């Protein structure tokens, strides 16, 4: 009964909103058939043998609307939902289900002063530094994300406020702040403050794009031991790309993570990526190589044990303006204390639960093909 009532209220609200605003439904369905495996850490019991699977490739559904309240002021909103694991009736390999407003969902006001937005949304660090360096974005072969090999500082912030400037002679500037409303009590009796602050800027002039970002995540007591209390983790990133007249795309980026502990050593790690692309008619060929460097000043093991590297090759073919075919192959080489994973992860423990993970030192790889329909 409660579910029916909630559905009725949501429908009524959207109907009322639609009467006064321009409403657009959008999204895409994308699925791939692929072969995945993981091995290399020396424990054959943790190997994932070559396994075929059909995988949701970041499918989503959204609705957005806007209303002009003054000549230069517009109020707008968006609700976007991941169709996570639609190939498995809405549940992915980690046991996560598709829920309403799981992606960028917010309300905002915009004008010649820029845009202010409240809700759940990609941080400025993620949004403004995305200039196409992820060769096979939204597929298993993606290399960008917090558990991947590059752009590990990107995040979608809950309970957040955002500002995006108007375009200023090719420059876009943005800032985000995500509140920690839980303030979890750590084992040592202190309150955590896992707030998050992001700043980023992007410059675009015809074929050239350059972007930089700064992201700071607040304290997190990782063990309850005050001697290991993590005060903050700071990410900085610089990326650039250029598209030549013949359709050749060249891009590169560097990102550094630095962890500030209350006492002891402060580890830091640098990641790099190089991306190439070539468009020929309706076909685009893509390749990238990313590295996750040594964890300098590590607090456990050897610095080089935390390295990883990933190569990606792929291609897309536009059948029609709404339909695209794609194919890819990728492999990550993890050192013994690293477990960087794929865009659609390969798990060797805890499959189907929130604890699903890849054993450190295992090397995930995948090759496959899929189709994306955009609406």
Look at residue 159 and tell me if it is in a domain.
yes
- Domain range holding 160? 24-374
Q: Measured between alpha carbons, how far is 176 from 286 in angstroms, rounded to an integer?
A: 31
Return the closest-CA partner of residue 174 out of 129, 237, 110. Answer: 129
Q: What is the pLDDT along the chain (375 residues), one digit of tens a residue?
A: 444 444 443 454 445 445 567 899 999 999 999 999 999 998 888 899 999 999 999 999 999 999 999 889 999 999 999 987 776 767 777 777 778 889 999 999 999 999 999 999 999 999 999 999 999 999 999 999 999 999 999 999 999 999 999 999 999 999 999 998 888 777 667 777 889 999 999 999 999 999 999 999 987 655 555 545 778 899 999 999 999 999 999 999 999 999 998 888 899 999 999 999 999 999 999 999 999 999 999 888 899 999 999 999 999 999 988 999 999 999 999 999 999 999 999 998 888 788 889 999 999 999 999 999 999
Phi, psi (5° rounding) for residue 305?
Answer: -70, -10
- How long is the chain? 375
**214 and 236 in contact (C-beta within 8 Å)?**
yes
Angle at 118 between CA 98 and CA 238, to 5 degrees: 85
**207 and 238 in contact (C-beta within 8 Å)?**
no
Look at residue 213 and tell me if it is in a domain.
yes
- The total domain count for the chain is 1
Look at residue 10 and tell me if it is in a domain.
no
**215 and 125 in contact (C-beta within 8 Å)?**
yes
Q: What is the CATH number of the domain that holds 66?
A: 2.40.160.10
Look at residue 209 and tell me if it is in a domain.
yes
Q: Where are the alpha helices (DSSP H) in the chain?
A: 2-18, 124-128
Look at residue 189 and tell me if it is in a domain.
yes
Look at residue 8 and tell me if it is in a domain.
no
Q: Measured between alpha carbons, how far is 198 from 153 in angstroms, rounded to an integer?
A: 10
- CA 58 from chain center: how many Å? 11
pTM here?
A: 0.89
Q: Measured between alpha carbons, how far is 170 from 42 in angstroms, rounded to an integer?
A: 51
Q: What is the 3-state secondary structure (H, E, C) of 168-187?
A: ECCEEEEEEEECCCCCCECC
Look at residue 5 and tell me if it is in a domain.
no
Look at residue 237 and tell me if it is in a domain.
yes
């Amino acid at each position: 009964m409660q579910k029916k009532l909630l559905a009725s209220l949501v429908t009524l609200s959207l109907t009322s909103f639609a009467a006064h605003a321009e409403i657009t439904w959008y999204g895409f369905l994308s699925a791939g058939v692929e072969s995945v495996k993981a091995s290399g850490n020396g424990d054959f019991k943790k190997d994932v043998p070559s396994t075929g699977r059909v995988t949701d490739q970041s499918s989503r559904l959204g609705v957005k609307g806007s209303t002009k309240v003054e000549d230069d002021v517009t109020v707008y909103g968006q609700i976007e939902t991941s169709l996570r694991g639609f190939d498995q009736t809405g549940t992915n390999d980690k046991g996560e289900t598709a829920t309403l407003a799981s992606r960028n969902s917010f309300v905002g006001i915009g004008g010649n002063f820029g845009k202010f937005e409240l809700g759940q949304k990609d941080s400025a660090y993620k949004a403004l530094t995305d200039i196409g360096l992820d060769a096979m974005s939204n597929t298993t072969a993606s290399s960008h994300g917090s558990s991947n090999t590059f752009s590990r500082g990107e995040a979608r912030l809950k309970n957040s406020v955002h500002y995006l400037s108007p375009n200023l002679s090719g420059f876009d500037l943005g800032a985000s702040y995500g509140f920690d409303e839980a303030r979890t009590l750590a084992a040592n009796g202190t309150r955590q403050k896992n707030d998050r602050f992001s700043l980023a800027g992007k410059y675009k002039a015809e074929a050239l794009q350059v972007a930089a970002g700064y992201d700071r995540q607040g304290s997190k007591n990782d063990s309850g031991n005050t001697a290991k209390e993590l005060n903050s983790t700071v990410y900085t990133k610089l990326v650039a790309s250029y598209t030549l007249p013949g359709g050749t795309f060249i891009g590169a980026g560097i990102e550094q993570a630095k962890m500030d502990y209350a006492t002891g050593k402060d580890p830091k790690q640098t990641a790099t990526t190089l991306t190439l692309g070539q468009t020929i008619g309706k076909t685009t060929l893509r390749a990238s190589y990313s590295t996750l460097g040594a964890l300098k000043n590590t607090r456990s093991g050897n610095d080089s044990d935390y390295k990883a590297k990933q190569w990606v090759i792929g291609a897309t073919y536009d059948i029609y303006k709404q339909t695209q075919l794609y194919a890819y192959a990728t492999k990550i080489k993890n050192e013994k204390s690293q477990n960087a994973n794929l865009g659609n992860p390969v798990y060797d423990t805890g499959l189907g639960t929130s604890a699903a993970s890849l054993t450190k030192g295992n090397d995930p790889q995948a090759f496959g093909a899929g189709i994306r329909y955009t609406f």
